[in-house]
Amino acid sequence: MQVWSRDPNSSRLTRNTSPPKFEPRPDPVMAQPTSLQDRFYSIKTSLPSCIQLPSVDEYSFELKPQFINTLPKFHDLESEDAYFFIRKFEEVCLMMKISHLVDDAIRLKFVLFALKT
């Protein structure tokens, strides 16, 4: 590779045909051994959810299919009204009574089955 440089004594351009001396600088990222997973998948730094289900460890309950089938479905389409869905969802959840679960816990358990996105 030809490299042109200026001679400091004569101020003339001279051609240097020798390969340039290339000293790679150490890359701080490459110096540390990391796995591909660490490089391509970012670390998830999210706060824990503020929604906490009440503990029902000593009580068992079953989410019956007939309850799930009565839920309104929300597909997140432009033609759907989110407020109408929430109103219908709350009406259906109020009709469901599961022993040892409060109304908010019932809504939290069933909302996953109603959202179809």
Please report, for the chain, the start and end positions of each structural domain, with discontinuous segments joined by +: 65-114
* Cβ atoms < 10 Å from Cβ of 57: 5
| CA angle in degrees (0–180, nearest 5) for 60-72-82 | 120
61 dihedral zone (left: phi>0; alpha: psi -120 to 50; beta):
beta
Q: Which pLDDT score, from 0 to 100, does residue 11 have?
A: 76
- Taking only the tens place, the pLDDT of each residue in 42-80 is 666 667 777 777 676 667 778 888 889 999 999 989 899
Overall pTM > 0.75: no
